[in-house]
Amino acid sequence: MKLTCINCPMGCTITVTKTKEGYKFSGNNCARGEAFARDELTAPKRMVTALIHTDRGVTSVKTDKPIDKKLIFKLLAEIDKIHLKNAKMGQIVIKNALNTGVNVVVTKSI
């Protein structure tokens, strides 16, 4: 199996081979690539970015940590319900989103 690492702009193509002991990884230029591939096989996660509405227009939000890939659309549905009067960069708009320990924070004041 081949995976493209998304941890940095290099985009290494990592080849994953199943062995008796587990997995063997090759093609990654750093340890982060192997960690990415291992996570991608067992529990893929992603950072989530979105837009929210405020009284002054729209602004961007993001998760402060990666969230389980299976929960992305549920989280986006929760984010879509938010409407703020004002938004300040760093403001937490959803604390402990979907009981994951991940917060959704404003990335640009408006």
pLDDT at residue 8 greater than cutoff 90: no
| pLDDT tens string 11-24 | 999 999 999 988 89
Q: Note the pLDDT tens digit of each residue in 32-49.
A: 999 999 999 999 999 999
pLDDT at 83 over 90: yes
Q: What residue ranges do the domains of the chain occupy? A: 2-42, 49-106
Q: Smallest Cα–Cα separation from 46: which of 34, 38, 36?
A: 36
pTM above 0.85, yes or no: no
Q: What is the CATH number of domain 49-106?
A: 3.10.530.10
Overall average pLDDT of the 78-92 stretch: 96
Average pLDDT in the chain: 94
Strands 83-84 and 49-54 come out as parallel
